[in-house]
Amino acid sequence: MEPQAIAYTKKKYSPILPTHQEWPVMKLAKNRKEFILEVIDASKKRIQDLTGEGSLLKEELELTMYREKLRLKENPWLVDPDDEGPFWNKIRSRLVTLANEKSTTEKDYKELLEEITSRYTNEIASNFKPNHYKFTRRLVTFGFSRLLNASRVKGFKSFWSNQYSLQDKIHITGETEHIRKLAAKGTIVMVPTHFSNIDSILIGWVISTLGLPPFIYGAGLNLFNIQLFAYFMNSLGAYKVDRRKKNLVYIETLKAYSSQAIQAGCHSLFFPGGTRSRSGKIESKVKLGLLSTAVEAQRANYQKHGDKAQRVFIVPVTLNYHFVLEAPGMIKEYLKQSGQERFYVENDEYSNSYKIVKFLIKFFTKGSDISVSIGKPLDVLGNYVDEEGNSLDKKGRVIDTKDYFISEGEVNVDKQREEEYTARLGDILVKEYHRINRVFSSHIAAFTAFQLIKKKNKKLDLYNLLRLPEEDLIIPADEYLEMFDKVREEVFKLHKYGKVGIAPHLTRSLEEVMDHGFANVGMYHAKRTLTRNTQGDVITEDLTLLYFYHNRLDGYGLEKLF
């Protein structure tokens, strides 16, 4: 029995809010000054709640100053403003003076806190300009369509043909109408998986294609080092997240920014995996920091507006690729376990605009497709939400989300409770990612090959396995075919039980799917991830990359087939 994969449709979506004056992010941009003040206030309050009265605030400020000075010395970036050094020098001398004066009071430290949060907030805040946004959107759509048509439509006028649009290249599937409806009723927090730096641009395009108003999102400050990205980011309402700054004051300011923006009704986007998945695995754990701001904002809305409160809807999204540009560098980093390093180390695949443009041209002129699956929207507790915005329990009964925040008949603040709710939401997101993930031919191709090699070398651990010489990496054609078939059948079974999605190309004949997988897996890397030798047997030129692409199907229990 062949399963039915939902075919991709090319659909035109009209914007749900046609004029930009109505966009929530515009309201924020218009009242930027007031909003920044709100955030500063909120962050001060958060930090003081955490440090309490007494010397803890002083210690946090000193620690912040110390770490910032260290960062400036050891890990400076192009985007860092010139006045950073003088600013922190000033803070340091003030801290020294305060520590030595007898008349120093709590108030003096609060003033310093205000200065630091204010600096951070201004740095984080996005600078959304509707004209830039519209221009960028047109540029992306236009530029990409030209490249696409030039390569696919034959003939002189091909460059100006409109036969192919971006939707032929990037397929959007899943709950598209559903989130359009909910975006008109509440605030959307979109949380995609993260594999590549191109994800942000891709998601930006998806949002605008679906007719949704622009989302604000936290983009890594390192991306602003690259001018081309900086341009896109700034015009798309990105706020800046600096992963080098791990001090409490910064982290709380960032959370306050996100929470206040969601409370203001701004649709938001963040990657809860934190950074790109170095291993190529789908997120098996998510970071709870920014996610907690969604839970908090929902509670704050209930506190302010009771039953009329604006609802917050969480939308999981997976991005599915045959090819990840950064794969070689990321997997090496993963294997070195350098993810724990104190400072975030950049790798250079995206180091300059030229390389990116080169990649984009390759991407659009050659055949690799991307699909974006939009998952079912959830409330902040992880319950599914219907099209009217009602949260439903497992039996389909309507739940009032407000009740989760109620104690003794009233909505109250309980940080510990909200932490648990966030952890719960995180666990549910991980399950949803695996469920909506779309399996491509290339994923099965890589998974099968790697598992077969692993099975033949049972005694080796991963690191020794990856060091195997090339002559040990040959898989006989018929053995490969048999296992490829088995894995595909198992994926179909999982699909039948709603545990994973599949791409339409997966239901073609076995040989076709296999060839498709071979042709597409990691297709633009210098070394072929999978290919065949003259005898027709399966070989790999880069086992580490094969491992990376294989990891995409980790977490489904498929390895038990081997």
Partner 1 sequence: MDLRNSSEKKVGVIGAGSFGTVIANMLAEKNKVILFARKPEIVKEINEKGTVEGRQMHANIEATGDQEYLASQCQVIFPIVSSTGFREVIRSFSPFLHPYHILIHGTKGLDLAHHLEEEGQPIRVTREDIKTMSEVILEETVVVRVGCLAGPNLAKEMAMKQPAATVIASKYNEVILEGQRLLRSDRFQVYGNKDLIGVELSGVLKNIIAIAAGALSGMGLGENARALLISRGMVETIYLGNALGGSTKSFIGLAGIGDLVATCSSNLSRNFTVGFRLAKGESLSDITATMEETAEGINTIRIMKQLIENSNVRAPITENLYKVLFEGMKVEEALQYLMKYPFNVDVDFL
The two beta strands, 538-539 and 312-321, are unpaired
**Smallest distance from the beta carbon of 304 to partner 1, in angstroms?**
18
Choose, by CB under 8 A, the member of 117, 149, 318, 401 that binds partner 1.
401
Choose, by CB under 8 A, the member of 49, 59, 177, 400 that binds partner 1.
400
Is residue 350 within 8 A of residue 197, CB to CB? The reply is yes
Question: Residue 168, SS3?
Answer: helix
Choose, by CB under 8 A, the member of 22, 83, 106, 414 that binds partner 1.
414
For partner 1 (CB under 8 A), the number of binding residues is: 21
**Between residues 250 and 421, which has the closer beta carbon with respect to partner 1?**
421
**Smallest distance from the beta carbon of 439 to partner 1, in angstroms?**
23
**Smallest distance from the beta carbon of 230 to partner 1, in angstroms?**
42
| Binding of residue 376 to partner 1 (CB under 8 A) | no
| Binding of residue 409 to partner 1 (CB under 8 A) | yes
| Binding of residue 420 to partner 1 (CB under 8 A) | yes
**Cα–Cα distance between 339 and 287 in angstroms, integer?**
14
**Between residues 52 and 469, which has the closer beta carbon with respect to partner 1?**
52
**Between residues 257 and 421, which has the closer beta carbon with respect to partner 1?**
421
The two beta strands, 410-411 and 438-439, are unpaired
The two beta strands, 268-269 and 312-321, are unpaired
**Smallest distance from the beta carbon of 424 to partner 1, in angstroms?**
7
> In 375-452, which ranges are E strands?
391-392, 398-399, 406-407, 410-411, 438-439
| Binding of residue 284 to partner 1 (CB under 8 A) | no
**Smallest distance from the beta carbon of 299 to partner 1, in angstroms?**
13
Is residue 236 within 8 A of residue 268, CB to CB? The reply is no
**Between residues 475 and 494, which has the closer beta carbon with respect to partner 1?**
494
**Segment interacting with partner 1, rule: CB under 8 A, options 345-353, 393-401, 458-466, 471-479:** 393-401
**Between residues 74 and 414, which has the closer beta carbon with respect to partner 1?**
414
Query: Residue 341, CB half-sphere, CA atoms under 13 Å: how many?
Result: 13
- Residue 226 per-residue DSSP state: S
| Binding of residue 110 to partner 1 (CB under 8 A) | no
| Binding of residue 50 to partner 1 (CB under 8 A) | no
| Binding of residue 404 to partner 1 (CB under 8 A) | yes
| Binding of residue 49 to partner 1 (CB under 8 A) | no
**Between residues 49 and 414, which has the closer beta carbon with respect to partner 1?**
414
Query: Position 142: which residue type?
Result: F
Choose, by CB under 8 A, the member of 152, 362, 424, 508 that binds partner 1.
424
Is residue 320 within 8 A of residue 440, CB to CB? The reply is yes
Residues 6+ apart with CB under 8 A from 46: 252, 255, 256
Listed residue (224, 257, 259, 226) closest to 124, CA to CA: 257
| Binding of residue 393 to partner 1 (CB under 8 A) | yes
| Binding of residue 427 to partner 1 (CB under 8 A) | no
| Interacting residues with partner 1 between 476 and 505 (CB under 8 A) | none
Question: Locate tokens 């006989």: which residue?
Answer: 476
Residues 6+ apart with CB under 8 A from 26: 20, 128, 130
| Binding of residue 416 to partner 1 (CB under 8 A) | yes
**Segment interacting with partner 1, rule: CB under 8 A, options 103-111, 304-312, 325-333, 396-404:** 396-404
**Between residues 2 and 410, which has the closer beta carbon with respect to partner 1?**
410
**Segment interacting with partner 1, rule: CB under 8 A, options 138-146, 359-367, 417-425, 472-480:** 417-425
Is residue 194 within 8 A of residue 389, CB to CB? The reply is no
| Binding of residue 381 to partner 1 (CB under 8 A) | yes
The two beta strands, 438-439 and 391-392, are unpaired
The H or E element containing residue 209 is helix 199-209
Choose, by CB under 8 A, the member of 33, 157, 308, 397 that binds partner 1.
397
| Binding of residue 348 to partner 1 (CB under 8 A) | no
**Between residues 421 and 548, which has the closer beta carbon with respect to partner 1?**
421
**Cα–Cα distance between 434 and 538 in angstroms, integer?**
28
**Smallest distance from the beta carbon of 404 to partner 1, in angstroms?**
4
Q: How many helices (H) and strands (E) does the chain have?
A: 20, 15
Listed residue (315, 331, 326) closest to 356, CA to CA: 326
Query: Position 179: which residue type?
Result: I
CA angle, corner 17, sides to 16 and 19, nearest 5? 145
| Binding of residue 292 to partner 1 (CB under 8 A) | no
| Binding of residue 307 to partner 1 (CB under 8 A) | no
Listed residue (374, 365, 14) closest to 164, CA to CA: 365
| Binding of residue 157 to partner 1 (CB under 8 A) | no
Is residue 554 within 8 A of residue 282, CB to CB? The reply is yes
Choose, by CB under 8 A, the member of 92, 132, 185, 417 that binds partner 1.
417
Is residue 330 within 8 A of residue 347, CB to CB? The reply is yes
**Between residues 400 and 512, which has the closer beta carbon with respect to partner 1?**
400
**Smallest distance from the beta carbon of 434 to partner 1, in angstroms?**
15
What is the b/e burial string over 522-538, where b = at least 16 CB atoms within 10 angstroms of the residue's CB?
bbebeebbbebeeeeeb
**Smallest distance from the beta carbon of 421 to partner 1, in angstroms?**
8
| Binding of residue 413 to partner 1 (CB under 8 A) | no
Listed residue (277, 323, 273, 318) closest to 500, CA to CA: 318
* Number of CB atoms found within 10 A of residue 246's CB: 14
| Binding of residue 556 to partner 1 (CB under 8 A) | no
**Cα–Cα distance between 309 and 550 in angstroms, integer?**
44
**Segment interacting with partner 1, rule: CB under 8 A, options 81-89, 243-251, 414-422, 425-433:** 414-422
Tell me which residues touch partner 1 (CB under 8 A): 381, 383, 393-395, 397, 399-401, 403-404, 406-409, 414, 416-417, 420-421, 424
